[in-house]
Amino acid sequence: MKKMKVVIVGGGFAGIQLIRKLDENLFDILLIDRLNHHQFQPLFYQVATSQIEPSSISFPLRNVFSERKNVQVRMTEVTAVYPDQNKIKTDIGEFDYDFLILAMGCTTNFYGNQNICRNSFPLKTTYDAITIRNHIITTFEKIVSASEEEREALNNLVIVGGGPTGVELAGAFAEIKRNILPKDYKGVDFSKFNVILVEGTKNTLGNMTDASKVESKNYLERLGVDIRTEVFVKDYDGNILQLSNGEFIRTRTVIWVAGVTGNTVDGLSQEVVTRGNRIKVDRYNKVQGYQNIFAIGDLACMSTPKYPNGHPQVANVAINQAKLLAKNLKLLISGKLPKEYEYKDLGSMATIGRNKAVVDLPFIHFKGYFAWVIWMFLHLMLILSVRNKLIIFINWAWAYVKKDTSLRLILKEDKKKCTHLK
């Protein structure tokens, strides 16, 4: 039997899992991604806050699939799809397919505000996390010698978005202020350094249970985080943050984690693009109106009786849609009926610092130290390699014992090149 050509666009949770589950004897696979590595997004915030190294959560795609003879990898960007020709266009040429799988995920949503886009820091890639780390540590260094007037803006760190990422960032930075800065910068008064969390709705962790909302807010406030709810950011010019309640905050650091929008591609009918720039799919993850194009993961919007507006954009959905699609593609080429996807909600969780986390399972809610241990264990299990699991565990164990890490390195370009030639 001739192998079918499967083109998968995106090396995230969905794309990686799909390749792992597709039958090597039935499918030849081309994986296309703008980056050459898989990124473990749930721990970006720990890279940004100097808790783990970027290499611990980034996995070269060619290495991940080095043992799979039926997998090819191309680092490029898909610019268009030609459904009538079963072809895609990329920056390096065109590729044919029998099945096209769109798994490009999402990017940061700045809601059309160009100023915020230009001047704030997103957190959707490993590079974003490194950029934030460099900026934050550089800011600490600047505070040491800054004038009183300059310090006001340097001393305000604003995080926009009170979901899991925003809460986790706020908790981590508050602990850095409490445990790290007094040791690293002796004699410098960091009591005026403010971690401010801005959230447009009434609560932090708005998609979790009422207990988690209340507990996360209480944890953050005890850590000293200044929480502003039911207020939106109207504008930010790199120096002044303007809020919807008329307040202005002087700050040189705004981390924007307030929403996402889908990474779509030209060539598909605009009728399949829905709210959040997601792509409408049926219960088999097939893009509506197309026979051999599928979308999985954060990009896919599947309406079901339980989830009429689409499933939550979390790793568990992406992984399980990929697993089922691998089975369904095998059924389709065998002339058998595919199976419908049904999401089983395994719960949600967030950590708010050392020994502090909230966990919502279908039948139980818990918090505190045990929740924190569960959060760490489950995230370790999702990491791709045994080696990286071990490295991250050692980093966490060391940080727990010492209340510190040694990863606060500023790694960026030195612009003073060739000065010795003058």
Rounded CA separation 154/211 (Å): 34
Domain ranges, ordered by start, for the chain? 4-108+260-333, 114-258
Cβ atoms of 123 and 132 closer than 8 Å: yes
- For 68-86, what is each residue's pLDDT tens digit? 999 999 999 999 999 999 9
What whole-number distance in Å separates Cα of residue 151 and Cα of residue 15?
Answer: 45
State the pLDDT at residue 97: 98
3-state secondary structure of 108: strand
With a CB cutoff of 8 Å and minimum separation 6, the contacts of 158 are 196, 197, 198, 241, 249, 251, 253, 254, 255
Q: Identify the weakest region by mean pLDDT among 186-190, 262-266, 327-331, 354-358.
A: 186-190
114-258: same fold as 4-108+260-333? yes
Which residues, other chains included, contact 11 with Cβ-Cβ below 8 Å and sequence gap of 6+? Answer: 31, 33, 35, 37, 38, 61
Contact 31, 65 (CB under 8 A): yes
- pLDDT, tens only, 113-152: 999 999 999 999 999 999 999 999 999 999 999 988 899 9
Tell me the β-bridge partners of 9: 32, 102
pLDDT above 90 (res 412): no
Assign 163 a pLDDT band (cuts: 50, 70, 90): very high
- pLDDT tens string 210-254: 999 999 999 999 999 999 999 999 999 999 999 999 999 999 999
Flag whether pLDDT at 402 surpasses 80: no
Q: What angle do CA 98, 101, 106 make, to 5 degrees?
A: 160
* 358 bridge partner residues: 350, 367
| DSSP-based three-state secondary structure for 116 | helix
- End-to-end Cα, the chain, rounded Å: 68
364, 211 in Cβ contact below 8 A? no
Q: Which residues pair with 262 in a beta bridge?
A: 106
Distance CA 273, CA 287 (A): 10
Domain spanning 114-258, CATH class: alpha beta
Q: What is the mean pLDDT of residues 338-352?
A: 92
| Whole-number average pLDDT of the chain | 92
3-state secondary structure 226-274: EEEECCCEEEECCCEEEECCCCEEECCEEEECCCEEECCCECCCHHHEE
CATH superfamily, domain 4-108+260-333, is FAD/NAD(P)-binding domain (3.50.50.60)
* C-alpha–C-alpha distance, residues 158 and 256, integer Å: 9
Residues 200 and 232: their CA atoms lie apart, in Å, by: 5
Residue 388 vs residue 166, higher pLDDT: 166
At 400, the pLDDT band (50, 70, 90 cuts) reads confident
- Identify the three-state secondary structure at position 217: helix
Quote the pLDDT of residue 63. Answer: 94
- pLDDT for the residue 406: 58
Measured distance CA(35)–CA(60) in Å, rounded = 9
CA separation, residue 342 to residues 13, 157, 292, 329 (Å): 18, 41, 21, 17
154 contact partners, CB below 8 Å, separation of at least 6: 139, 142, 143, 146, 252, 253
The pLDDT confidence band at residue 313, using thresholds 50, 70 and 90, is: very high
Q: Whole-angstrom Cα distance, residue 104 to residue 111? A: 19
pLDDT at 105 over 60: yes
Does residue 404 register a pLDDT over 90? no
Share of the chain above pLDDT 70, in %: 95
> Is the model's pLDDT at 421 over the cut of 70?
no
Confidence of residue 413 (pLDDT cuts 50, 70, 90): low
In this prediction, residue 418 carries a pLDDT of 59
Give percent of the chain above pLDDT 90.
Answer: 81
Contact 314, 306 (CB under 8 A): no
User: What Rg do the C-alpha atoms of the chain give, in angstroms?
Assistant: 23
Model confidence band, residue 417 (pLDDT cutoffs 50, 70, 90): low
Average pLDDT value for residue range 278-306 = 96
